[in-house]
Amino acid sequence: MDKTYTPQNIESNWYKTWEEKNYFAPSGQGDSYCIMIPPPNVTGSLHMGHAFQQTIMDALTRYHRMTGHNTLWQPGTDHAGIATQMVVERLLAQDNVTRHDLGRDKFIEKVWEWKEQSGGTITSQQRRLGTSVDWSRERFTMDDGLSEAVKEVFVRLYEEDLIYRGKRLVNWDPKLHTAISDLEVENKDESGFLWHFRYPLADGVQTADGKDYIVVATTRPETMLGDTAVAVHPEDERYTHLVGKFVDLPLVGRRIPIVADEYVDKDFGTGCVKITPAHDFNDYEVGKRHQTALINVFDRDAKILKQAEAFNFEGQPIDGIDCTIPEGYGELDRYDARKKIVADFEALGLLEEIKDHSLVVPRGDRSGVVIEPWLTDQWYVSAKTLAEPAIKAVEDGDIEFVPKQWENTYYSWMRDIQDWCISRQLWWGHQIPAWYDNDGNVYVGRSEEEVRSKHNLADDIKLRQDEDVLDTWFSSALWTFSTLGWPHDEEALKTFHSTDVLVTGFDIIFFWVARMIMMTLHFIKNEDGTPQVPFKKVYVTGLIRDEQGQKMSKSKGNVLDPIDLIDGIELDDLVQKRTSGMMQPQLKQKIEKATRKAFPEGFAESGTDALRFTLTSLASLGRDIKFDVKRLEGYRNFCNKIWNAARYVQMNTEDENGNALDCGQNGGDVELSVADRWIISRLQSVEADVQKYYEQYRFDLMSQTLYEFIWNEYCDWYLELSKPVFWNENSTEAQLRGTRRTLVRVLETTLRLIHPIMPFISEEIWQSIKGLAGVEGDSIMLQAFPVADESKIDQQAEQDIEWLKGVIVGVRNIRGEMNIAPSKALDLLFRNGSEDDKQRLANNENFLKALAKLESITWLNDGDEAPMSATQLVGQMEVLVPMAGLIDKDAEIARLNKELEKLQKDIQRISGKLNNENFVSKAPEAVVAKEKAKLDEMSAASAKLNEQMEAIKSM
RNA sequence: AGUCCCGUAGCUCAGUUGGUUAGAGCGCUACCUUGACAUGGUAGAGGUCACCAGUUCGAAUCUGGUCGGGACUACCA
């Protein structure tokens, strides 16, 4: 083994080997365990969030593989409709080409080219991360098989009346020219105005206070061109006499009714609301209740039409409605139209006032432009029917969220779920399996042939397929079963479905998790017909944020590429990476400055294992993660520590020529020291804890447990305790064998414990020590995961080592505080020890002398005078370091004072407790007894130290 | 507006059913190149657990409130 740990040398080869040998495929034996990867979008490359989630999935996968499960981690990618189409359009735009220049087929070809490239980037990144997915099963949401599943689901839902088509208001993105679902709309608080307009009353009617107009307030003046009514509250006395009367809509001249509707808030604005059913979701409902028309005034760009269009609520065009668009408004952008409307109202003397107003503005999550409620034909999924069993599955505990609090979020959305608009006016995606004839009839089916034969359509009837595609999330909703071969090949489905756990972020609980639950419960059934859940657990991870706690995003220029942390990157390259290909180049300087400030050194190479360990150690439940590069450095050092510990083990279990020494594998007496028994005992507890933490998804606690065991117990103490055995000329062969065997076996076991988190370093070291540990096998991946053996828990050994540590730390404390050179060997005196103490010393003298660097150890009898000494207490026993020539009297007095003060404080606190009548009578006996024992011990200690103090002072 | 999360050492965070001397990593101080490791070792400094009130013999932990930070959902034109 090399002297220093260099991750690059070991990581590249092992992954290739594992993959070539097909270790990632399910073993075909044991109970099944399955995780579906949340398919990354093929829009670019993996970010820290992916690295985080995939580390957790890989740890779970490797763990279950090692516990003997038939384990499948299913990989794949998502076509990410809008997002990917936008990426490719932006690329084309660099050459001044639009998708329309290319035409649909050519454009889609380009997107496939991009998909190949981006998909390749993603999978190679995944390999670098060490993900043990079964690549032979890799899927893409637009594969033939998955497209089959999409069609099948669409057709069946249509046949069950759970998918329908209708002309309704949708969230229209006027930039991307597509409908989007409610979830893709981001509502943002922005400041704007509330314009108060006067609408003249028709037929000479007057208001209660004698005006010939009423005042409506609006934040969207331009939509008044499509007004079909004015609404007031039914109990608003100011206006009751006007209900049923009319106003003449200014500019347009249309006569529209005044209606009474509960929707109106009497106390807001003027209490009169203009109703524009074709351009506002609430107005749509009001209009529907009062059977007004729908008057659309916008085109697909949200520009004013030359001639408005009127529809009824069945979506049919209607005649006889005045659809005038006033002169000069046609083709005006919505915001220009707004200005003009306001100006025109003002000119007409109909502008009452303008108030500042904060309002909520809906923006498209991809385009960022203001979304327009717009009347179009779209396809919908009736969500309520599907939602019911999906709610129940969580209520009944068939699906559990970890942490549990996310179930609230899930319920609150599901119980108020709206129909899901699934059609998108894009080119990249699954084209909707619906065909139209020239009479406007719709036929839904798996193919044109199926449609023709099913509906007996003659060959000469022309059919054209719906040009729209489905929402990306429609296909991802089928992910757990479409990837396993549904609807045609159900073998894998039978084996691996329901899957075990979904690891994902809370940001897609609605987009994805909820919809997967709905679709899967509806389509996948057990043999007895009961529905199958897609997964039994949902592990919801936090978000990885930057060092400031900001969300990482390309536009903010604060993203970290996990590969850069693994390989390291120069500052200049990092800056270059963060500032290239930006959508907002004006931010370049700011990003550069922030980056140079945050990471003045760039990143050193840390290796995959260190990154993975960092991510798991940060994986607390229900909390976002501020990614701290310092933490990564610490765990890189941890890898180095493991590496060097392994080197020590190897050096002491092989001779200079690399031949194995006798580690007790081939018979011969084996004698275990107390240290050997102690570390074996401690290992059992660690094994039990690790298993528990897997069950609880507490990767943070697991990492901490492993870190502490390896560093603070195995390295800091056990390795040191092994040295006296190896270096003592009097050690017997049996003793040497015992310690060698323990040394290497504990290491070998520990490597298996860390393997799911740190696959590379564990494999590399394991390969070079497996023989020494008497283990055979091709890869640590295929070894069994360690299981705690309670019979190896050795209380006696643990207590003995605690005692030993107490003495050693006591001596070291005196050395440290008194500035005694580490090289100076000390003469140690013990006084007032019990039989146990004496026994322990007898058993451990060798260890004690070596680790505390002692020249001699002498027991004083009870009455014996001690020379002036610095004192430490281990229980009742006094450990004395003679001061002569070493220790300054005042320094020792000061040190004792410090100790005594601490003791005094504790004694006060505890005796206060014990003097409290209530505590003694009401607290459990065990607690009282414990406090009493503590007090006794501290009092005795205090007395001893005081005595010692007096002795020193009087000398 | 509703729901939820968070506030613990200079920084990033653990602390599982109330009973610990409140922990870790990084950073800091002093000493040490001893034959696994200076990406290291040893010793140490550092906390009124945001604040207030309550429940309790006992609260970082439970309850209510206040302040501060954040997330999600909904929304009055």
Instruction: Give the model's pLDDT for residue A937.
Output: 85
The rounded mean pLDDT for chain A is: 91
Q: Which pTM does this prediction carry?
A: 0.93
Distance of alpha carbon A553 from alpha carbon A44, whole angstroms: 13
First CA to last CA across chain A, in angstroms?
57
Distance of alpha carbon A818 from alpha carbon A887, whole angstroms: 6
Instruction: Give the model's pLDDT for residue A843.
Output: 87
What is the phi/psi pair of residue A366, to 5°? -95, -45
- How far is CA A589 from each of CA A548, A561, A669, rounded to the nearest angstrom? 18, 20, 71
Query: Which residues make Cβ contacts (< 8 Å) with residue A655, sequence separation at least 6?
Result: A661
Q: Which residues pair with A303 in a beta bridge?
A: A333
Of A623, A505, A690, which is closest to residue A62 (Cα–Cα)?
Answer: A690
Give the H/E segment covering residue A921.
Answer: helix A917-922
Of A440, A399, A362, which is closest to residue A538 (Cα–Cα)?
Answer: A399
**What strands, in cross-sheet order, belong to the sheet with A877-882?**
A854-859, A826-831, A877-882, A869-874
Instruction: Give the model's pLDDT for residue A440.
Output: 87
Which tokens go with A223? Answer: 């939509």
Q: Which nucleotide is nearest to A626 (CA to C1')?
A: B12
Distance B74 C1' – A120 CA (angstroms): 41
Of A834, A35, A43, which is closest to residue A484 (Cα–Cα)?
Answer: A35
Instruction: Give the model's pLDDT for residue A131.
Output: 95
Which tokens go with A872? Answer: 């430490």
Instruction: Give the model's pLDDT for residue A554.
Output: 80
- Cα angle for residues A289, A292, A293 (degrees, 5° grid): 130
Task: Give the bases of strand B that a protein CB approaches within 7 Å.
Answer: 2-6, 11-15, 19, 21, 24-27, 30-37, 39-45, 56-58, 70-77
Instruction: Give the model's pLDDT for residue A480.
Output: 95
Q: Which nucleotide is nearest to A920 (CA to C1')?
A: B57
In one-letter notation, the amino acid at residue A404 is K
Distance of alpha carbon A261 from alpha carbon A294, whole angstroms: 17
Instruction: Give the model's pLDDT for residue A220.
Output: 93
- Judged by DSSP in three states, A684 sits in helix
Distance B44 C1' – A898 CA (angstroms): 13
Of A820, A844, A811, which is closest to residue A725 (Cα–Cα)?
Answer: A844
Tally: H helices and E strands in chain A: 30, 31
Q: Which nucleotide is nearest to A194 (CA to C1')?
A: B77
Distance of alpha carbon A23 from alpha carbon A782, whole angstroms: 8
Distance B67 C1' – A623 CA (angstroms): 22
- Judged by DSSP in three states, A297 sits in strand
Which residues of chain A are modeled with pLDDT < 70? none
Distance B47 C1' – A830 CA (angstroms): 36
Distance B38 C1' – A436 CA (angstroms): 76
Distance B64 C1' – A405 CA (angstroms): 21
Of A293, A168, A304, which is closest to residue A223 (Cα–Cα)?
Answer: A304
Q: Which nucleotide is nearest to A280 (CA to C1')?
A: B77
Burial class (CB in 10 A: 0-12, 13-18, 19+), A814: buried
Instruction: Give the model's pLDDT for residue A761.
Output: 95
Distance of alpha carbon A753 from alpha carbon A616, whole angstroms: 14
Q: Which residues pair with A272 in a beta bridge?
A: A232
Distance B71 C1' – A892 CA (angstroms): 55
Q: Which nucleotide is nearest to A822 (CA to C1')?
A: B32
Helix, strand, coil share (%) of chain A residues, nearest 5: 50, 20, 35
Instruction: Give the model's pLDDT for residue A474.
Output: 96
